[in-house]
Amino acid sequence: VIFCDKAEIIFNTLASKFDEKPIWVGKTDRDTHVTLTVNKEEHTWSLVEYQGGTACVLGVGETSSNPDI
């Protein structure tokens, strides 16, 4: 399920509820941006795509294949 809302709400929720911080931002060929947020201590992550004021959470997880995250 993809969840969409105002970008400010999505990113504030990821920061306040999950203590996730952006570690990577990329620009797509559709002129949107994709951000990976991570909580390095709990090993949670979220992948968010956004354009303008709207953001959608594309995926979330609780593990990582990168031991440094």
Using the predicted structure, report yes or no on whether residue 12 has a pLDDT greater than 60: yes
State the Cα–Cα distance between residues 23 and 1, nearest whole angstrom: 23
How confident is residue 1, by pLDDT bands cut at 50, 70 and 90? confident
pLDDT recorded at residue 63: 83
State the Cα–Cα distance between residues 61 and 44, nearest whole angstrom: 6
Residue range 31-48, pLDDT digits in tens: 999 999 999 999 999 999
**pTM (2 decimals)?**
0.88
Using the predicted structure, report yes or no on whether residue 66 has a pLDDT greater than 80: no
